[in-house]
A = this chain, B = another copy of it.
Amino acid sequence: MGVRKRAPCALLLRRGAAPFAGQAALPGGFVGAGESLEDAAQRVLRDKAGLSDVRCEQLYTFGEVARDPRRRIVTVAWLALLAPAAIEAALEAHPGVLCATLAVPEADGVRDIHVVDRAGARLHLAFDHEQILALALERLRGKLDYTAVGFDLLPSFFTLRQLQDVHEAIRGTTLNKPAFRRRMIDKGWIAPTGARETGTSHRPAALYRFRDVT
């Protein structure tokens, strides 16, 4: 998942074979007998989206008996945090990859999300993958304030406005600008780089970088 055009988005693959032929689905694969779950997630991401060195965290394990109409499949879902450059790289690396936007009709919860393509048409994902995406967004919302997940959705140098856009996109609300600045700086999570934005038609913003505090 990532943030594009001030909205949360996810990379999907168009399915060729049945079941759910022609529908979009999350990239997935089987875990090898001698492979850890995280290694498998990284391998799938590399093979299906051409991405490597992406921060991933385990999301949830889906084990309902009839999730897959063919046979019993237990899926350990992982959430990959994609910076804008990674999203563009994946779209270029593989023609089957698409980037869909997650629209959240209700403001407070993520019970019901709509996955829409670039044109705004709703996509119905294969299997229970919409449910997986809804949980992923909920997880992002929950961790945004307490962990550094927001920075993994940005380039290494970013402006405070970009950071706020990411937070607003994930939360689905607007935030108070001075309060947001104060909070981020007070947390000690970001450090000024001395560099400034370029190519704007107005005052350029200062560029910050994530400062790991561990």
Binding site for B on A (CB under 8 A): 31, 33-38, 58, 60-61, 63-65, 72, 74, 76, 142, 146
B residues less than 8 Å from A34 (CB atoms): 65, 72
| Residue of A33, A63, A146 with most chain B CB atoms under a 10 A cut-off | A63
Bound: A63/B74 CA distance, A: 13
Bound: A63/B30 CA distance, A: 13
B residues less than 8 Å from A61 (CB atoms): 37, 58, 61, 76
Q: Is the CB of A37 within 8 A of B72?
A: no
Q: What 14 additional pairs, Cβ within 8 angstroms, besides A31-B74, A37-B61, A63-B76?
A: A31-B63, A34-B65, A34-B72, A35-B65, A36-B63, A36-B64, A36-B65, A37-B63, A37-B74, A38-B63, A58-B61, A61-B76, A74-B76, A142-B146
B residues less than 8 Å from A37 (CB atoms): 61, 63, 74
Within 8 Å by CB of A72, from B33, B64, B74, lies B33
CB distance from A59 to the nearest CB of B (A): 10
For the residues of A in contact with B, the DSSP-based class is loop
CB distance from A37 to the nearest CB of B (A): 3
B residues less than 8 Å from A36 (CB atoms): 63-65
Q: State the 5 A-B residue pairs at the shortest beta-carbon distance, nearest first.
A: A37-B63, A61-B61, A61-B76, A36-B64, A36-B63
CB distance from A156 to the nearest CB of B (A): 27
A-B contact list, 20 entries, CB within 8 Å: A31-B63, A31-B74, A33-B72, A34-B65, A34-B72, A35-B65, A36-B63, A36-B64, A36-B65, A37-B61, A37-B63, A37-B74, A38-B63, A58-B60, A58-B61, A61-B61, A61-B76, A63-B76, A74-B76, A142-B146
